[in-house]
Structure formats: C-alpha cells, structure tokens
Amino acid sequence: MSAIAVNNLRKSFGKGTSRKDALKNVRFEIAEGSMTALIGPDGAGKTTLLRLLAGILQPDAGALQVLGHALPEEALPLQAQIGYMPQRFGLYENLTVEENLTLFADLHNIPEDRRKPRFDELLTMTALGPFRARRAGKLSGGMKQKLGLACTLIHPPKVLLLDEASVGVDPISRRELWSIIHRQVIHEKVTVLLSTAYMDEAERCDHVLLLHEGEILAQGSPADLVAPMQGHSFLLQEAAMTPRALQSQVARLPDVVDTAIQGDGLRIVIKTLDPLPLPPDPAVQGQLKPVPARLEDAFVSLLFNRNPHRSIPLPPAAKAAAHDAAVVEVKSLYRYFGSFAAVKDVSFSVHKGEIFGLLGANGAGKSTTFRMLCGLLPASSGTLRVAGADLRTGEAAARARIGYVSQKFSLYGALSVQQNLSFFATVYGLHRRRKRDRIGWALEELELKDYIAVNAADLPLGYKQRLALACALMHEPSILFLDEPTSGVDPLARREFWARVNALAQGGTTCLVTTHFMEEAEYCDRLVLMSLGEVLAEGSPTEIKGRVRRADRPNPSMEDAFISLIEEHEHVSRRAS
C-alpha cells in the first residue's frame, strides 16, 4: 500500500492576471517505509507540495491521500500521524530544549509515562542531551535544526515531510541529521519525503521526484534516472590551462551540457555518446577519461533538454589577470557582540581579480566579517584595508569602489526592474548618459529585458539574484562583495551565477563570496574556511584539500576537509585548555 498518493493535483496562487500555477497535474505515489527526495529548481513548487501534503494548503483540484486520509477534509486526524518540518523550523527561541519538546509532546497528547523514554531517546539521537536546559535561541544553527527534527519526531510520526532540513547547516550537523532521518526509515519504518538542494542526499534516497515549474519532470530510483546518462560524463585532466580557463573554453562547445571544476580537472557532461571533439588549442588538450554519471548530471541534463535556450553566460576568453597588489587586507580582526566573539583573530588578503571565498556554516562569522569589510559594522579591533583605504578613516572613499549584494538582496519589492536599476544608478551618482548606458548594459548582460516592468517582489529567485547583482554593479566597482548569493538556489542557477562571477573576475573585478555550500569552494581561487568565528584554513581549494589527504582517502572532498579540520582544531583547542 502506498503511504502517499497524489493524483492530478493542481494548485495556483494569486488572482486574475497575476494568477500563477504552482503545481499542475502532479501525480505520484510513495510506498510505505520508503525514502523519497524532492528535487528541482527554486520555485518549482517543492514547498507548496509539502505544505499541501501536510494539510495546511488547500488544493484547487485533484486527489490527495496521505496514510489513507483524504486531504484537505481529513487534515486534523492526519496531522496526529505525520511530522512536518518547514524550511525554517520555528522553534520557540525563548524556550529551552526540553520545554520545546514538552510543548510538542503536549500538542500531540503524549501521555506522561511515555514522555521520558521518548525524550531521552531523541536527545541521545540528536546529541542534545547536555543542552536540555539551554534556550533554543542560544543553540548553533545545526543544533537548532536537530532540535526541530526531534520536535517533529516526538509522537513518532508514520510519515515525515522535511522541507530542506539540512540547508545552511555545517557538514557535521548535516551528516548527523541525515543519519537520524535514515534511522527513522530503517528502524521505525517511517515514510520520508524530503526536499533538498543537495544532490548527494537525493542520491541516497530510494526514489527521486524531479519537479520543474510545477510539473514532475522525472521520477524513479536514482539509478534509473542516472542510467541514461552513463557514458556522457568525462573528466579532463592534466591540461596546460587552469581548470577555470579550461571551463570557459569547453563550456561554449555545442554538445556540452554541463561543466564543473573538480579538483585539478574539469568534469564535462555532453549530449551525445560520441567522444568530445576538443578545440584545437594545445593548452586545452589533456587526458579525457570517462567517469560514472551522477544524479546531478541527470538533473542538469533534464533541465537543459527542457530549456535548451537557457543561455549560461560564458566568461570572456581568459586573459591572465594580474594577481599583484592586495586589494583587501584583513589583519587580526575581532568583533564582539557583548561578551560573544563573532569573529576571532581573522586575517587574510585578497588580490586583484581574484575570486575569494569565505566558507562556513551558518553562524561561522562570514556575514559579520563581510559587514565589517563593507564598512557596515565597526570592528572591535584589528586592521581592515579595502581598495587601499583604511576603513576606520577613509570609509567613504572605499565605499565608492565596492559593490555589495546582501543575503536578502535588498531590492525594492514594489519597484519594477527598471525602477530599481534607475534608483541604484542615481544613488551611486550616475547621470544621464552614463546612467542610461549602465542600465542598458545591465538589462542586456544580465538578461533582464523580459522582466523590465515586473516588480522586484514578483521575480523568480534567480532573477532577483541577477537584479541584485546588476544594482551592485551599476557604478562599476572594483571589488564586489556577495553574501550567500547561492543560498536556496538550484544547481543550474548556481552554475549560471558562478559563470557570471567568473566573467567578472576575468574582467578584473575582485569578488568576495560567502557560501555554506562546500562544493562551491571549487569555484574560488583562494578561500578561508571558517568555523565559530575562527579561520580553520586559508589557501586554494587544492591546497586545503591536500592538507587532509590520507592513504585511505586519496581524493578528499571539501566537505571531508572541513570535517577533518574542525576535528583537528577541536583537538588542539581542547589540549590547549
């Protein structure tokens, strides 16, 4: 029997002309005790689908059955049997860990005698036992997410619906979350449906649903979905060019669906089964060997087939950027909020035309460092030089030369694309001719022309991100700060974004980027790995990964590196104390 059955489901939002279909003709079944991943670009309808299944949205048409309960009529009896974790699980931050659990136990009517063993079990599973009496607001991002999961599992549920439960948490917490969820399926026979942005998580599920623009584009086991892609993936190694320059050459070939930098090589996915004809340039020639396909290849290729026109901007032909003067210099930077040190002894320098990454989980101190670099937040101590100006004295001079894209994009939602661009151009002091030129450039270069009259609030996330980028580039800054630009964005849009950043860097703009996606480290020239306000490591991706290479792990990923470095760091600091 299937735990979830959805037939001809339709749901739209808005009224009149702004009416938009969020889901159309969705049909699928999920077997009891199985684990299903819901993947798809941002705005594909993943959250809407999960909310419908949780009974908190009303479908326009179609049949929805969860555990034999028809929705939305039987939502109340169903809600006693399911667990649902929204994207941003709202814990009561003023309540302690145990009080949060008690509240959910009360809401689920769990008798007193069953509580203690269940609480103990959940707290052991999440390793939150020592923090029983701590307020939820004082937990780290990963711990909050684990507590959210524990609250969802309290009754325990027969069906578990998780909306991007692991996004933004550090790799260690992500592994822990995953093992908790996995255990529910194995030991408790819980049916799990989870939406995720991580392909490796989807790959570990029994079943994958690929949602795109409200429709199911493909479904099946990961193996089924990957099978047609076998033989299409290659790794190009030992070329004379740097992988980034190589990427810009290869990506423009007609049959290439996707390229991704992987370590010192370039991973290429092509449309046909024929061997890839490489460009004649000798610097491009290298060792091209077939590699096994991944789910991500299938995902990108399915979306690519659907929207072949979707142009991924290609970086201009690589011109060697002069990596000379340091344009950003940070020395022993500290920032305290009360007695809490958000940034501790951070030092690094960034050269002109570099893509420099600040990697770390939510709460690692990336955004705080960024705000100090942009002059939005004074440093507690340390030196900060941006574009040759000391931020403590020559703030205004430095600011004219920097662009900043904040985490939430800071666009004016009620203004159209054109009006936003015009406003930011005016704010940066551009006039007439130059203003017209720059707006024209932005509409052209960032492909915003089709959306010129649309209000920023109504843009799809990917376009919001582009518009924010355009606004920050109005005054042609020499340094660009991008704070979590790829958060919540699907792999395709992420690739597109990085290609743009790449192009900017090739043109001489220095780009500083924060991200919590470990694999995005590959796009950076150099990076710092941050955790709890401290720098764990600094260097190029290859250097950092090289530090944790062992005999049993010849090809460590950035995630492996992060975990090893954190463990090493904890070991050292424990010994020091």
Q: Quick one: 150 or 379, whose CB is closer to another protein? A: 150
User: Which residue from 3, 39, 91, 295 is in contact with another protein, where contact means CB under 8 A?
Assistant: 91
Q: How far is the CB of 109 from another protein (least distance, A)?
A: 5
Q: How far is the CB of 47 from another protein (least distance, A)?
A: 10
Q: Where are the beta strands (DSSP E) in 271-363?
A: 287-290, 326-337, 340-351, 355-359
Q: Is there binding between residue 325 and another protein (CB under 8 A)? A: no
User: Which residue from 27, 29, 33, 56 is in contact with another protein, where contact means CB under 8 A?
Assistant: 56
Q: How far is the CB of 107 from another protein (least distance, A)?
A: 4
Q: How far is the CB of 81 from another protein (least distance, A)?
A: 9
Q: How far is the CB of 5 from another protein (least distance, A)?
A: 19
Q: Is there binding between residue 80 and another protein (CB under 8 A)? A: yes
Q: Is there binding between residue 45 and another protein (CB under 8 A)? A: no
Q: Token pair for residue 376? A: 């939005």
Q: Quick one: 110 or 387, whose CB is closer to another protein? A: 110
Q: Report how far Cα 553 is from the mean position of its chain's Cα atoms.
A: 26
Q: How far is the CB of 43 from another protein (least distance, A)?
A: 17
Taking contact as CB under 8 A, which single stretch among the options 147-155, 251-259, 338-346, 372-380 is the one that binds another protein? 147-155
Q: Quick one: 136 or 561, whose CB is closer to another protein? A: 136
User: Which residue from 13, 323, 426, 449 is in contact with another protein, where contact means CB under 8 A?
Assistant: 13
Please identify which residue in the block is written with the tokens 């904040």.
406
Q: Quick one: 85 or 211, whose CB is closer to another protein? A: 85
> What residue spans of 197-241 are helical by DSSP H?
199-203, 222-226
Asked if residues 512 and 402 have their Cβ atoms less than 8 Å apart, the reply is no
SS3 of the chain: helix, strand, coil, percent, to 5? 35, 25, 35
Distance separating alpha carbons of residues 371 and 234, to the nearest angstrom? 40
Nearest C-alpha neighbor of 508 from the set 473, 559, 557:
473
Taking contact as CB under 8 A, which single stretch among the options 102-110, 164-172, 283-291, 475-483 is the one that binds another protein? 102-110
Residue 242: CB partners within 8 Å, gap ≥ 6?
A: none
Q: Quick one: 58 or 305, whose CB is closer to another protein? A: 58
Q: How far is the CB of 83 from another protein (least distance, A)?
A: 8
CA distances from 82 to 72, 158, 192, 498, 531 (A): 14, 6, 10, 39, 35
Q: How far is the CB of 205 from another protein (least distance, A)?
A: 22
User: Which residue from 7, 25, 102, 416 is in contact with another protein, where contact means CB under 8 A?
Assistant: 102
What is the side-by-side order of every strand in the sheet holding 326-337? 340-351, 326-337, 381-386, 389-390
User: Which residue from 2, 27, 31, 75 is in contact with another protein, where contact means CB under 8 A?
Assistant: 75
User: Which residue from 34, 36, 65, 79 is in contact with another protein, where contact means CB under 8 A?
Assistant: 79
Mask: binding to another protein, 149-168, rule CB under 8 A, as x and -? --xx----------------
Give Dmax over CA atoms of the chain in angstroms: 75
For residues 531, 533, 538 and 544, what is the CA-based torsion angle, rounded to 10 degrees?
0
Burial of 454 (0-12, 13-18, 19+ CB in 10 A): middle
Q: How many residues bind another protein (CB under 8 A)?
A: 40
Q: Is there binding between residue 404 and another protein (CB under 8 A)? A: no
Distance separating alpha carbons of residues 535 and 127, to the nearest angstrom? 25
Q: Is there binding between residue 55 and another protein (CB under 8 A)? A: yes
Distance separating alpha carbons of residues 408 and 105, to the nearest angstrom? 35
Taking contact as CB under 8 A, which single stretch among the options 107-115, 122-130, 378-386, 539-547 is the one that binds another protein? 107-115
Q: How far is the CB of 75 from another protein (least distance, A)?
A: 7
Please identify which residue in the block is written with the tokens 């705005």.
43
User: Which residue from 4, 39, 67, 105 is in contact with another protein, where contact means CB under 8 A?
Assistant: 105
Q: How far is the CB of 134 from another protein (least distance, A)?
A: 13
Q: How far is the CB of 176 from another protein (least distance, A)?
A: 20
- Work out the angle at residue 368's Cα, subtended by the Cα atoms of residues 328 and 407, and round it to the nearest 5 degrees: 95
CA distances from 454 to 43, 44, 220, 471, 497 (A): 17, 19, 37, 15, 21
Contacting residues toward another protein, per CB under 8 A: 13, 51, 54-58, 72, 75-77, 79-80, 82-95, 99, 102-109, 135, 148, 151-152
